[in-house]
Structure 1
Amino acid sequence: MSGVVRRAPELPAWPQYSDEERSGLIRALEQGQWWRMGGSEVDSFEREFADYHGADYALAVTNGTHALELALQVLGVGPGTEVIVPAFTFISSSQAAQRLGAVAVPVDVDLDTYCIDPAAAAAAVTPRTKAIMPVHMAGQVSDMDALAKLSADTGVPLIQDAAHAHGAQWQGRKVGELGSVAAFSFQNGKLMTAGEGGAVTFPDSELHEIAFLRHSCGRPRTDRRYFHQTSGSNFRLNEFSASVLRAQLGRLAGQIDTREQRWPVLADALAAIPGVVPQTRDERCDRNPHYMAMFRLPGFSEQRRNAFVDALVERGLPAFAAFRAIYRSNGFWETGAPAESIDDIARRCPNTEALSADGVWLHHRTLLGTEEQMHEVAAVVADTLAAQ
Structure 2
Amino acid sequence: MTTPLTAPQFPEWPQYDDAERTALVRALEQGQWWRMGGGEVDAFEREFAAFHGGGHALAVTNGTHALELALQVLGVGPGDEVIVPAFTFISSSQAAQRLGATAVPVDVDLGTYNLDPAAAEAAITPRTKAIMPVHMAGQIADLDALGKISERTGVPLLQDAAHAHGAEWRGRKVGELGSVAAFSFQNGKLMTAGEGGLVLFADEEGRDHGFLRHSCGRPPTDIRYLHATSGSNFRLNEFSASVLRAQLARLGSQVETRERRAALLAPLLAAVPGVVPQSRDERATRVPHYMAMFRVPGIGEERRNALVAELVRRGLPAFVVFRAVYRTNGFWETGAPALSVDELAERNPNTELIHSEGIWLHHRTLLADEDAVRAIPGIIAAALESV
Partner in structure 1 of residue 374 of structure 2: 375
Partner in structure 1 of residue 102 of structure 2: 103
Give, in whole Å, the separation in 1 of the partners of 2:202 and 2:348.
Answer: 32
Tell whether the 8 Å contact from 1:8 to 1:377 is kept in structure 2 after alignment: no
CA displacement at 1:6 relative to structure 2: 4.5
Pairwise CA RMSD: 1.0
Q: Residue by residue, what CA displacement relative to the aligned partner does 1:205-237 show, whole Å, maximum 9, x if unpaired?
A: 110000000000000001111000000000000
Tell whether the 8 Å contact from 1:89 to 1:325 is kept in structure 2 after alignment: yes
Tell whether the 8 Å contact from 2:4 to 2:375 is kept in structure 1 after alignment: no
Identity, in percent, stands at: 72
Partner in structure 1 of residue 200 of structure 2: 201
Give, in whole Å, the separation in 2 of the partners of 1:54 and 1:157.
Answer: 20
Partner in structure 2 of residue 50 of structure 1: 49
Q: Residue by residue, what CA displacement relative to the aligned partner does 1:253-312 show, whole Å, maximum 9, x if unpaired?
A: 000000000001111111111000000000100000000000000001100000000011
Tell whether the 8 Å contact from 2:65 to 2:197 is kept in structure 1 after alignment: yes
CA displacement at 1:372 relative to structure 2: 1.3
Give, in whole Å, the separation in 2 of the partners of 1:20 and 1:356.
Answer: 39
Give, in whole Å, the separation in 2 of the partners of 1:11 and 1:106.
Answer: 36
Tell whether the 8 Å contact from 1:6 to 1:380 is kept in structure 2 after alignment: no
CA displacement at 1:375 relative to structure 2: 1.2
3-state SS of paired residue (1:361): strand
Instruction: Kindly provide the amino acid, as one letter, of the partner of residue 118 in structure 1.
Output: P
Range with bigger deviation, 6-15 or 254-263? 6-15
CA displacement at 1:8 relative to structure 2: 2.5
Partner in structure 2 of residue 210 of structure 1: 209
**Is 1:293 aligned to residue 300 of structure 2?**
no
Instruction: Kindly provide the amino acid, as one letter, of the partner of residue 317 in structure 2.
Output: P
CA displacement at 1:7 relative to structure 2: 4.1
Give, in whole Å, the separation in 2 of the partners of 1:269 and 1:383.
Answer: 14
Give, in whole Å, the separation in 1 of the partners of 2:341 and 2:306.
Answer: 25
Tell whether the 8 Å contact from 1:91 to 1:326 is kept in structure 2 after alignment: yes
Partner in structure 2 of residue 251 of structure 1: 250
3-state SS of paired residue (1:84): strand
3-state SS of paired residue (2:27): helix
**Is 1:231 aligned to residue 249 of structure 2?**
no
Give, in whole Å, the separation in 1 of the partners of 2:280 and 2:371.
Answer: 22
Tell whether the 8 Å contact from 1:88 to 1:325 is kept in structure 2 after alignment: yes
**Is 1:37 aligned to residue 59 of structure 2?**
no
Partner in structure 1 of residue 89 of structure 2: 90
Give, in whole Å, the separation in 2 of the partners of 1:349 and 1:219.
Answer: 42
CA displacement at 1:5 relative to structure 2: 8.0
Tell whether the 8 Å contact from 1:77 to 1:100 is kept in structure 2 after alignment: yes
Q: Residue by residue, what CA displacement relative to the aligned partner does 1:323-354 show, whole Å, maximum 9, x if unpaired?
A: 10000000000000000000111001000000
CA displacement at 1:54 relative to structure 2: 1.5
Instruction: Kindly provide the amino acid, as one letter, of the partner of residue 218 in structure 2.
Output: R
Give, in whole Å, the separation in 1 of the partners of 2:263 and 2:274.
Answer: 18
3-state SS of paired residue (1:191): coil
- Give the 5 Å matches for 1:184-199: 184-199=183-198
Give, in whole Å, the separation in 2 of the partners of 1:108 and 1:252.
Answer: 31
Partner in structure 2 of residue 155 of structure 1: 154
Partner in structure 2 of residue 265 of structure 1: 264
Partner in structure 2 of residue 126 of structure 1: 125
Unpaired segments of 5 or more residues in structure 1? none
Give, in whole Å, the separation in 2 of the partners of 1:386 and 1:282.
Answer: 31
CA displacement at 1:47 relative to structure 2: 0.2
Tell whether the 8 Å contact from 1:7 to 1:380 is kept in structure 2 after alignment: no
3-state SS of paired residue (2:236): coil
CA displacement at 1:55 relative to structure 2: 2.5
**Is 1:359 aligned to residue 358 of structure 2?**
yes
Unpaired segments of 5 or more residues in structure 2? none
3-state SS of paired residue (1:165): coil
Partner in structure 2 of residue 329 of structure 1: 328
3-state SS of paired residue (2:58): strand
Instruction: Kindly provide the amino acid, as one letter, of the partner of residue 55 in structure 2.
Output: D
Partner in structure 2 of residue 19 of structure 1: 18
Partner in structure 2 of residue 319 of structure 1: 318
- TM-score of the superposition, structure 1-length normalised? 0.98
Tell whether the 8 Å contact from 1:6 to 1:315 is kept in structure 2 after alignment: no
Q: Residue by residue, what CA displacement relative to the aligned partner does 1:187-220 show, whole Å, maximum 9, x if unpaired?
A: 0000000000000001101100000000000000
Report how many residues are paired. 386
Give, in whole Å, the separation in 2 of the partners of 1:208 and 1:256.
Answer: 27
